Structure 1
Amino acid sequence: MTPLPQPRVRPRGATPLSVARTLDRCTVLGPGNRAVIWVQGCPLRCQGCVAAETLPFEGGTSRSVAELADWLCALGDIEGVTFSGGEPFSQARGLAELLDAVRERRPDFGALAYSGFRHEALRRGGPDRIALLERLDLLVDGPYVAARHASLRWRGSDNQRLIPLTDRYTRFLDEPDTTAGIELSVAAGGALSWSGVPPTPGFRRRLEERLAARGFVLHTEARRER
């Protein structure tokens, strides 16, 4: 099931990535302990999206592939990275270049990506999207559908699929399919953020209400999409 080695993406200069947020360690958005990059911008408008601030293509922070590769390689106790957003496949070329740059130094680095598009559509989506698919180990595909919300591991509604693209994570697909949970973290300066896939609909609204009642405000850049 592991794809044949693919040629490196040939960069058209330094491809910048528009990033909404990063997290250096997370255990609820894929197997093991991993970093997460939320990209900025998504062409889809899924009803019930819990990270509407990541949808506009305006905004975010411009980050170079080299900068992000250095950051990932310096995190010695992670086994891979998860790409979320926003829509990672709207920045497929830059993310493919990023994985190539990291794997030059860490060949066994794992990669998972979320996408609101179906796998079949991504395969027809042009060379940049195909290049990113060929560098991923696991894809979580499909739009979030609020009416089909379910308590599932790493995804929010039961139309979304876990698609192994290599054999790296196939052992996890045989385990009980229950929610991975939510993680809260406090960054420097006291900013509160959360990561994960909500096990129940309306999670964000209720969380914000409860935090507000205790004097906390959830920063918009820390909100999570699917």
Structure 2
Amino acid sequence: MAELTRLHVARRLDRCTVLGPGVRAVIWVQGCPLRCHGCVAAETLPFDGGVALTVPELTDWLCRLTEVEGVTLSGGEPFAQAAALAELLDAVRARRPDFSAMAYSGYHYAALRTGSPDRRALLERLDLLIDGPYVAARHGSLRWRGSANQRVLALGDRYAHVPAEPDVSAGVEVSVESDGSLSWAGVPPTPGFREGLEQRLAARGFALRTEGWGEA
């Protein structure tokens, strides 16, 4: 029996409205070869963390989420696991043909387009790409992005209108978990958001579960 492809995942979220158009699932992959200064999800950078999940496991999970229109891939660096993610998107679309896909990458689009076959395969399966490294000196209150050098690129017709829409921050979403801890997702509109939030919560006796967005 052939071994199942596995993805190393830092975290996943069933429902999110601040990391891409509409209501989306989110997968934060584990591992990034880049080290952007000020990365808001530094815990996703090491390749030896996270949980290994098979493509069929993730496919079943995504296909059960009937209220979402697609998935956003973040991390970590999604293109460090490009082959597995391309396989995942193919498996999901075999069951849900209209399922959309968006990804963040610290690499520029031109580099991905001329990169390895695996990276090109993942790129070809995306509807939207946020490209480029996070640059702390250019931090801005931007839609789905942390710094002004990053771009929202429509890679097909489905979201062709998106880059022309108002470029305002989508904010962050905060939720309370069953154990009383807090989690958040999104692109902070102001620098130092994570550190400030952690300090304020700690002062009030709360524990923050680290589940933010990080650009690779």
Q: TM-score normalized by structure 2?
A: 0.96
The residue aligned with 1:127 is 117
Residue identity in the other structure for 2:54? S
The residue aligned with 1:3 is none
The residue aligned with 1:139 is 129
The residue aligned with 1:188 is 178
Cα drift, residue 73 of structure 1: 0.3
The residue aligned with 1:92 is 82
On the 8 A contact 1:84/1:114 being kept in 2, the answer is yes
**Rounded Cα–Cα distance in structure 2 between residues aligned with 1:223 and 1:152:** 16
On the 8 A contact 2:186/2:212 being kept in 1, the answer is no
Cα drift, residue 224 of structure 1: 2.4
Secondary structure of the structure 1 residue equivalent to 2:57: helix
**Rounded Cα–Cα distance in structure 1 between residues aligned with 2:169 and 2:209:** 24
Unaligned runs of 5+ in 1: 1-11
Residue identity in the other structure for 2:23? N
Q: Does 1:225 align with 2:214?
A: yes
**Rounded Cα–Cα distance in structure 1 between residues aligned with 2:4 and 2:117:** 18
Give the 5 Å matches for 1:19-34.
19-34=9-24
Cα drift, residue 213 of structure 1: 1.4
Secondary structure of the structure 2 residue equivalent to 1:38: strand
Cα drift, residue 174 of structure 1: 1.8
Residue identity in the other structure for 2:70? G
The residue aligned with 1:108 is 98
On the 8 A contact 2:181/2:206 being kept in 1, the answer is no
On the 8 A contact 2:153/2:163 being kept in 1, the answer is no
**Rounded Cα–Cα distance in structure 2 between residues aligned with 1:185 and 1:51:** 17
Residue identity in the other structure for 1:49? C
On the 8 A contact 1:15/1:93 being kept in 2, the answer is no
Give the 5 Å matches for 1:153-192.
153-192=143-182
The residue aligned with 1:4 is none
Measured against aligned partners, the alpha-carbon deviations of 1:106-133 in whole angstroms (never above 9, x if no partner) come to 0000000000000011112211000000
Pick aligned residue for 2:44 from 44, 54, 76: 54
**Rounded Cα–Cα distance in structure 2 between residues aligned with 1:225 and 1:73:** 25
Residue identity in the other structure for 1:102? V
How many residues of Structure 1 are paired with residues of Structure 2 in the alignment? Answer: 214
On the 8 A contact 2:154/2:162 being kept in 1, the answer is no
Stretch deviating more after TM superposition (165-174 or 14-23): 165-174
**Rounded Cα–Cα distance in structure 1 between residues aligned with 2:214 and 2:176:** 19
On the 8 A contact 1:88/1:113 being kept in 2, the answer is yes
Runs (4 or more) in structure 1 with deviation over 6 Å come to none
Measured against aligned partners, the alpha-carbon deviations of 1:126-161 in whole angstroms (never above 9, x if no partner) come to 110000001000000000000000110000000001
Secondary structure of the structure 2 residue equivalent to 1:212: helix
Residue identity in the other structure for 2:212? R
The residue aligned with 1:9 is none
The Cα RMSD (Å) is 1.1
